[in-house]
């Protein structure tokens, strides 16, 4: 196990940063954009990986908690995402969208894959999974539909078609990892209205995504 893997294998420290991540803030690479760091990572630059980990591990953890409903599994997801990124899955293409959108989509895809695996292994059999599944399956399927079927560029275009409130809600939810309650607090609204913007925005994204995919298939 190399130095990078040892750092990423540490337990996620809620509210704290491992010493290696404290030091990485002083790296000359810290001022680089996410796109530039991903390019450095193609050449196995470990500092680039640690800086990306520093910037995105909390978001990956939040996505993991929301999709997997288990903090231990969410921590494993964080480690898996960045080790995969380091080892073989840096396929980022800047012509197709931003690095942040690409990274977030990767996190969601890995989380959905892991959740499907856990269901097959009866991981959730010890809780009232049927009540949970009935309540959230429709929403999760919408999220999965939006995240997995659209390219980063298509997702960015779809977001631009939302209303201002919908776009703000969806960006904070998907790209900042905030809960609906946290979004309501930040925007000065209430949870009921925030939830309304979220559901309407999510459904609108799926409609836009379907239209984009149909146009793509028809060659328009």
What would the mean pLDDT of 198-216 be, rounded to a whole number?
Answer: 82
Asked if 51 and 32 count as a contact pair (C-beta separation under 8 A), the reply is yes
Higher pLDDT, 147 or 52: 52
Q: How far is CA 4 from CA 20, 23, 188, in A?
A: 9, 13, 40
pLDDT tens digit sequence for 100-122: 988 988 898 888 888 888 878 77
Task: Report the phi/psi class of residue 96: left, alpha or beta, with left for phi > 0 and alpha for psi in -120 to 50.
Answer: alpha
Q: Is the pTM of this model over 0.75?
A: no
What pLDDT is stored for residue 163 in this prediction?
A: 94
Instruction: Select from 219, 63, 207 the least CA-distant residue to 146.
Output: 207
**Structural domains in the chain, sorted by start:** 1-124 (1.10.1740.10), 128-220 (1.10.10.10)
Least confident of 6-10, 82-86, 115-119, 139-143: 6-10
Looking at residue 199, the DSSP 8-state letter turns out to be H
What is the rounded distance in angstroms from the CA atom of residue 27 to the CA atom of residue 191? 40
pLDDT tens track for 167-200: 999 888 888 888 889 999 998 889 999 999 998 9
Average pLDDT over every residue of 37-66: 89
Report CA 176 to chain centroid distance, whole Å. 8
CA dihedral 91, 97, 99, 101 (to 10 degrees): -110
């Amino acid at each position: 196990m190399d130095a990078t893997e040892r750092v990423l294998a540490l337990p996620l420290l809620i509210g704290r940063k491992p010493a290696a991540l404290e030091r990485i803030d002083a790296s000359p690479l810290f001022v680089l954009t996410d796109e530039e760091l991903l390019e450095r990572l193609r050449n196995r630059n470990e500092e680039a990986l640690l800086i990306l980990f520093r910037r995105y591990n909390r978001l990956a953890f939040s996505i993991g908690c929301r999709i997997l409903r288990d903090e231990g599994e969410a921590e494993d997801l964080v480690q898996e995402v960045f080790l995969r990124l380091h080892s073989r899955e840096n396929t980022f293409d800047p012509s197709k969208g931003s690095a942040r959108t690409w990274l977030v989509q990767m996190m969601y895809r890995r989380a959905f894959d892991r959740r499907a695996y856990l269901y097959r292994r009866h991981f959730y059999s010890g809780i009232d999974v049927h009540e949970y599944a009935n309540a959230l399956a429709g929403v999760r399927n919408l999220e999965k539909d939006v995240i997995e079927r659209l390219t980063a560029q298509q997702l960015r275009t779809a977001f631009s078609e939302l209303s201002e409130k919908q776009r703000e809600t969806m960006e904070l939810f998907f790209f900042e990892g905030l809960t609906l309650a946290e979004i309501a607090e930040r925007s000065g609204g209430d949870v009921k209205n925030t939830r309304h913007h979220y559901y309407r925005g999510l459904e609108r994204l799926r409609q836009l995504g379907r239209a984009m995919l149909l146009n793509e298939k028809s060659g328009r």
